[in-house]
Amino acid sequence: MGKASAKFMIIHAALQEEDNQLDIQTMCQLAGVSRSGYYRWLNASQYRAELEEQDCRDFELILQAYNHRGYKKGARSIYMRLLHLNPPVVMNIKKIRRIMEKYRLYCPIRKVNPYRKMMQAMHTSHVSPNLVNREFTTSGPRTVLLTDISYIPYNGKLYPQKWTRKF
């Protein structure tokens, strides 16, 4: 429900009271809405009721697809489930998301498997290809470069200057 709709509802409730002494024009000015907008809102009450009824019918279909197979689904999975019904139900994903938000249906976000990262970090079977094949001199000057990244443990780590050797 939007801000203007809430204001129109307050104006309508105030007009229904017996001890109300303000007219519609003054109340609309106080609320900061147009009088024609209030009358348009008042005349559209049947249309809003029809939309609400349609949303309830669609919510029943969405809830059925949401709980299919015992686990909760997101909007895209619900969309695909509705397409596979007999007869297929074609519904826009934006409408599914709007109805899910309206009735507070949320898809739980799957948590990351902590063991997967540990397994990738501990993965030691990767061996780099032997490109030099221990032939350091036949390649020519400045084609094979070596570095040393050793350290000395001393109140933390002490890194000596990196040596680069050219062959």
Domain boundaries, the chain: 1-43
The tens place of each residue's pLDDT in the chain, 167 residues long, gives 678 889 999 999 998 888 888 898 999 999 999 999 999 999 999 999 999 999 999 999 999 999 998 888 899 999 999 999 999 999 999 999 999 999 999 988 888 888 888 887 777 676 778 877 777 666 667 777 766 666 666 676 655 555 444 54
* pTM exceeding the 0.75 threshold for the entire prediction: no
pLDDT of residue 149: 60
How does DSSP classify residue 71? Answer: S
C-alpha of 115 from chain center = 25
The pair of three-digit structure tokens given for residue 114, joined into one six-digit string: 């902590």
pLDDT of residue 164: 46
Q: Which residues contact 37 (CB under 8 A, 6 or more apart)?
A: 4, 8, 28
